[in-house]
């Protein structure tokens, strides 16, 4: 695979260059056009516009000029970089076709570079919840107790079946910033058990509305009277800007700044146009973790709580002209996106998940447990507690019910070994899989990642195939 031409090298008809990462290719087509394509969708991103002319060769000359010739060495097109001996042509990984001089200074380019950035280490399949926001069982978000004269009753408020997307997005950022892995469960039925995880998600859902201003922002952008495009009045400051202007000129720079600063960005999606405030719940919240700018085409990489474990969910739009109505497309889901805006975020400690090695017991329970991979392992004796886990002084006492949100199995990728057994296991596909050699263990981080648990602790975990 060749990505460049040096002096004296050339492309014949149907010859090509391909960027080192394989994502871009330059082809001298049989119709006479020299075209730069994006490989994944075969979209043409630049061309010499010489189709219909007979071209025999595209040559990187010794004088630094890149020239296309037809029959009899007749001129067709050139880069106008002559008198620069030692220059060379390269198709870069960012999609830009560039001619550099012998000292590495750029002389000419196709201006087709792609700018991209992502938050280091974040992937939805690894760092976000593994259950879906869709189809959550019906249960109240919380209940209130009325004054005594009205009787000893509880009044339900809200319903989880309407979705917890804002809470899931905020909690995902909380976990990532705390360096914690999400619970392993893939079932959202656990949410209505009244446990700590559900309570945390409800509280973060309320936070995601950015009260009081967030509701007003939603209602303004939902207003059917607000145009998508610019008007004569908005252009001279006598009326609010339209939705496209809001996204392109105001929100996109804020999103970009977050990602460039290596911070996840919660994003509200306006999916309805109505003055009815009871329809607020039909909007949605996602978490932006990366972007790609290809010319004037913007792609946002997002964690969408409706599509767990999906690393290819994107939102796409053109940022070429903020005065016109644009279409915002999405790779997953069918709801229209009329507008989006960045949500304000403040960190909250995700106390429904535990750091590896936490030694805990609930206030009214005698059992002491060590937590690995967000799963509790019973410590069967004071001697084991003292020898391996720091003794009674290291035990953290929790409110009753606090451990109910823990997973029945450790999270994917947890590496475990019983104290007096030689076998090492990794959790994969909800099973413990024997790690067969030190070389295999190195793929999971080596011995530093091995979590020691009391003998017999792994008996209740189903066994999977060995890892070679």
Whether 307 has a pLDDT exceeding 70, the answer reads yes
Per-residue model confidence as pLDDT tens digits over 232-246: 888 888 888 999 999
For residue 406, the model assigns a pLDDT of 84
For residue 148, the model assigns a pLDDT of 45
Mean model confidence pLDDT for the chain: 92
Pair 388, 420: CB distance under 8 Å: no
For residue 194, the model assigns a pLDDT of 61
Residues 6+ apart with CB under 8 A from 89: 4, 5, 17, 60, 66, 97, 98, 99
Q: How confident is the model at residue 40 (pLDDT cuts 50, 70, 90)?
A: confident
Strands 265-270 and 155-157, bridge-based pairing: unpaired
Q: What residue ranges in 51-113 does DSSP mark as E strands?
A: 57-60, 66-70, 74-78, 88-91, 97-100, 106-109
Mean pLDDT calculated for residue range 72-87? 97
The token pair at 110 is: 């196709």
Range with the poorest average pLDDT among 80-84, 107-111, 229-233, 390-394: 229-233
For residue 189, the model assigns a pLDDT of 77
Mean pLDDT calculated for residue range 185-194? 73
Q: How confident is the model at residue 152 (pLDDT cuts 50, 70, 90)?
A: low
Share of the chain above pLDDT 90, in %: 76
Whether 144 has a pLDDT exceeding 60, the answer reads no
Q: What residue ranges in 65-160 does DSSP mark as E strands?
A: 66-70, 74-78, 88-91, 97-100, 106-109, 114-118, 142-144, 155-157
The token pair at 145 is: 């107790």
Whether 157 has a pLDDT exceeding 70, the answer reads no
Give residue limits of the domains in the chain: 4-112, 118-342, 358-453
Residues 6+ apart with CB under 8 A from 453: 370, 372, 377, 416, 417, 418, 419
The alpha carbon of 339 is separated from its chain's Cα centroid by a whole number of angstroms, namely 20
For residue 407, the model assigns a pLDDT of 81
For residue 329, the model assigns a pLDDT of 97
For residue 155, the model assigns a pLDDT of 45
In terms of Cα–Cα distance, which of 398, 403, 455, 463 is closest to 429?
463
Per-residue model confidence as pLDDT tens digits over 363-407: 999 999 999 988 999 999 999 999 999 999 999 998 888 888 788
Residue with tokens 């908005």: 234
Which alpha helices (H) appear in 210-336, and where do they start and end? 213-222, 232-235, 243-245, 252-260
Whether 429 has a pLDDT exceeding 90, the answer reads no
Neighbours of 153 (CB within 10 A): 9
The continuous run of DSSP H or E covering 387 comes out as helix 382-388
For residue 140, the model assigns a pLDDT of 65
Neighbours of 355 (CB within 10 A): 12
Pair 169, 206: CB distance under 8 Å: no
The token pair at 33 is: 């056009």
Strands 396-398 and 358-362, bridge-based pairing: parallel
For the whole model, what pTM was predicted?
A: 0.74
For residue 41, the model assigns a pLDDT of 86
Pair 243, 339: CB distance under 8 Å: yes
Q: How confident is the model at residue 284 (pLDDT cuts 50, 70, 90)?
A: very high
**Counting beta carbons within 10 angstroms of the beta carbon of residue 181, is it exposed (0 to 12), middle (13 to 18) or buried (19 or more)?**
buried
User: For residue 81, how many C-alpha atoms fall within 13 Å in the half-sphere facing its CB?
Assistant: 26
Residues 6+ apart with CB under 8 A from 11: 5, 17, 26, 28, 34, 57, 58, 59
The token pair at 435 is: 């790690």
Q: Which CATH superfamily is domain 4-112 in?
A: Bulb-type lectin domain (2.90.10.10)
Whether 349 has a pLDDT exceeding 80, the answer reads yes
Mean pLDDT calculated for residue range 144-164? 57
CA 344, CA 252: separation in Å to the nearest integer? 14
Mean pLDDT calculated for residue range 159-187? 89
DSSP calls for 185-206: ---GGGGGG--HHHHHHHHHHH
Q: What is the CA radius of gyration of the chain?
A: 29
Range with the poorest average pLDDT among 48-52, 152-156, 371-375: 152-156
User: For residue 340, how many C-alpha atoms fall within 13 Å in the half-sphere facing its CB?
Assistant: 29
């Amino acid at each position: 695979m060749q990505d460049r031409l040096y002096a004296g090298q050339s492309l014949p008809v149907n010859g090509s260059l391909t960027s080192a990462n394989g994502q871009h290719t330059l082809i001298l087509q049989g119709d006479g056009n020299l075209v730069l394509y994006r490989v994944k969708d075969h979209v043409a991103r630049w061309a010499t516009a010489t189709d219909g002319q007979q071209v025999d060769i595209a040559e990187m000359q010794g004088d630094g000029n890149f020239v296309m010739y037809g029959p009899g060495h007749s001129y067709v097109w050139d880069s106008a970089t002559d008198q620069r001996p030692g220059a060379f042509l390269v198709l870069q990984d960012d999609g830009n076709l560039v001619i550099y001089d012998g000292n590495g200074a750029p002389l000419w380019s196709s201006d087709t570079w792609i700018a991209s950035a992502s938050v280091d280490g974040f992937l939805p399949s690894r760092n976000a919840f593994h259950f879906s926001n869709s189809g959550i069982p019906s249960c109240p978000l919380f209940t209130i107790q009325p004054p005594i004269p009205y009787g000893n009753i509880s009044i339900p408020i809200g319903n989880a079946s309407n979705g917890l997307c804002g809470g899931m997005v905020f909690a995902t950022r909380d976990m990532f910033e705390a360096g914690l892995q999400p619970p392993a469960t893939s079932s959202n039925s656990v949410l209505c058990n009244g446990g700590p995880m559900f309570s945390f998600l409800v509280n973060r859902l309320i936070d995601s509305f950015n009260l009081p201003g967030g509701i007003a922002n939603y209602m303004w952008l939902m207003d059917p009277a607000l145009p998508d495009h610019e008007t004569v009045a908005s252009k001279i400051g006598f009326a609010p800007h339209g939705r496209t202007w809001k996204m392109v000129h105001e929100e996109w720079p804020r999103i970009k700044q977050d990602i460039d600063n290596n911070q996840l960005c919660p994003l509200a999606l306006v999916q309805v146009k109505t003055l009815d405030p009871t329809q607020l719940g039909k909007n949605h919240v996602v978490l932006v973790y990366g972007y790609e700018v290809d010319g004037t085409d913007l792609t946002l990489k997002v964690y969408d709580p409706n599509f767990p474990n999906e690393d290819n969910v994107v939102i796409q739009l053109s940022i070429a002209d903020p005065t016109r109505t644009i279409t915002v497309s999405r790779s997953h889901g069918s709801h229209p996106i009329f507008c989006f805006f960045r949500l304000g975020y403040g960190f909250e400690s995700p106390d429904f998940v535990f750091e590896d090695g936490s030694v805990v017991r609930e206030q009214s329970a005698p059992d002491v447990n060590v937590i690995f991979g967000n799963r509790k392992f019973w410590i069967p004796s004071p001697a084991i507690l003292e020898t391996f886990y720091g003794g009674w002084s290291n035990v953290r006492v929790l409110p009753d019910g606090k451990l109910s949100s823990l997973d029945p199995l450790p999270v994917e990728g947890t590496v475990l070994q019983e104290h007096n057994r030689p076998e090492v296991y990794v959790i994969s596909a909800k099973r413990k899989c024997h790690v067969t050699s030190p070389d295999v263990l190195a793929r999971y981080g080596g011995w530093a990642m091995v979590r020691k648990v009391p003998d017999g602790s792994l008996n209740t975990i189903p066994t999977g195939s060995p890892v070679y």
